[in-house]
């Protein structure tokens, strides 16, 4: 078991990817998209850093940049994230992306802002991730039901991509509604499913997502197992009825785990950078949690000297 802080800065909504024995970390900066690179998964204190995009002031998609994810798709680097229009607030959040013309994601000059992911119906959406399943490319994100502007229901949607920059609008499917009691903050008045991430390991294929309110100690991780068939059929996804990971209130913490991501490693199982664990219910420093994930694995989660900073968690199979 490993419990090693990898950064001394706040890293909310962390996303880590491994490529050619290098580790890349992205996280919410708010006003820009930074990429950090390290040769050591356990050390992002002394690392290389670039700003891939800093939007010009007073331009569209220039505020509240959240949850960037770096992906290498068919030989090209992309960053998917969400952004809002200045003056319009969170209501205008949509998925946008960057594309690099360079094979090196740390080449700042190679990055170009493409604007919104084309083809997604015009509704509030955040926390986009992409993955390949059965040879098809998908985008999974958290969004309000199309046409619903009440900000009371936030679900997980799946859409097939024609290519990394274009979605097939007709394929949009809601695969998880926030209906279970532990998914609903504010006394059940709101439903929140967000921060989906794809996981394929040890005979398991599915999506780990966050539920409840990130602003509460009830923030938790849920699980959708892909059972086979057409991924665009909601019936192909089986929701775990209990949380995968939740606050240990009876033991004094940790509290509020959520917004996880995984990295593969040569001699380890998967690892989680963990975005929102807290040491106490007031949101102080984070801590680790340990939990069995499936029959052959144990997952160990990140913590930090600051709320929302990243730690490495290693599963030894």
Q: State the Cα–Cα distance between residues 316 and 268, nearest whole angstrom.
A: 5
Please state the domain count of the chain: 1
Does any domain span residue 7? no
User: Is the predicted pLDDT of residue 17 greater than 50, yes or no?
Assistant: yes
Residue 195 placed within a domain: yes
In a domain, 63, yes or no: yes
Confirm whether 281 is domain-assigned: no
Say what the pLDDT of residue 314 is: 45
* Within a domain: 2: no
Of the two residues 28 and 278, the one the predictor is more confident about is 28
Considering only residues 297 and 157, tell me which one the structure prediction assigns the higher pLDDT: 157
In this predicted model, what pLDDT tens digit does every residue of 278-316 receive, in sequence order?
A: 555 554 332 223 333 333 333 333 333 334 445 444 433
Name the percent of the chain lying above pLDDT 70.
Answer: 79
Task: Return d(Cα 93, Cα 111) in angstroms, integer.
Answer: 21
180-184, 271-275, 276-280, 293-297: which is most confident: 180-184
d(CA 60, CA 41): 35
Residue 4 located in a structural domain: no
224 occurs within a structural domain: yes
Give residue 72's domain range. Answer: 15-267+293-316
DSSP-assigned beta bridge partners for residue 204: 201
Residue among 1, 48, 40, 8 nearest 308 (CA): 8
Distance between CA atoms of 135 and 224, rounded to whole angstroms?
A: 20
Distance CA 169, CA 1 (A): 43
CATH of residue 189: 2.115.10.20
Tell me, yes or no, whether 200 lies in a domain.
yes
Q: What is the average pLDDT score of the chain?
A: 84
Nearest residue to 40 (alpha-carbon basis) of 277, 308, 265: 265
């Amino acid at each position: 078991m490993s419990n090693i802080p990898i950064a001394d800065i706040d890293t909310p909504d962390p996303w880590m990817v491994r490529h050619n024995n290098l580790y890349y970390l992205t996280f919410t900066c708010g006003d820009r998209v930074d990429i950090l690179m390290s040769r050591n998964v356990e050390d992002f204190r002394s690392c290389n850093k670039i700003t891939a995009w800093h939007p010009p002031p007073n331009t569209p998609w220039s505020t509240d940049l959240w949850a960037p994810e770096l992906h290498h798709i068919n030989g090209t680097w992309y960053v998917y994230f969400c952004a809002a229009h200045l003056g319009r607030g969170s209501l205008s959040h949509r998925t946008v992306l960057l594309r690099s013309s360079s094979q090196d994601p740390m080449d700042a000059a190679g990055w170009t802002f493409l604007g919104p992911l084309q083809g997604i119906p015009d509704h509030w959406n955040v926390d986009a991730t992409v993955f390949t399943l059965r040879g098809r490319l998908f985008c999974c994100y958290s969004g309000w039901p199309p046409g619903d502007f009440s900000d009371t229901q936030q679900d997980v949607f799946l859409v097939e991509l024609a290519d990394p920059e274009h979605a097939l609008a007709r394929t949009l499917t809601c695969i998880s509604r926030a209906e279970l009691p532990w998914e609903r903050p504010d006394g059940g008045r709101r439903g929140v499913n967000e921060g989906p991430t794809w996981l394929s390991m040890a005979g398991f294929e599915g999506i780990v997502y966050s539920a409840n309110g990130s602003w509460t100690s009830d923030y938790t991780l849920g699980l959708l197992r892909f059972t086979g068939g057409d991924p665009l059929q909601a019936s192909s996804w089986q929701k775990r009825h209990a949380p995968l990971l939740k606050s240990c209130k009876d033991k004094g913490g940790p509290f509020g785990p959520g917004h996880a991501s995984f990295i593969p490693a040569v001699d380890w199982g998967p690892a989680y950078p963990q975005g929102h664990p807290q040491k106490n219910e007031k949101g102080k420093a984070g801590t680790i949690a340990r939990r069995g994930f499936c029959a052959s694995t144990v997952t160990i989660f990140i913590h930090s000297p600051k709320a929302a900073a990243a730690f490495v968690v290693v599963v030894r199979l």
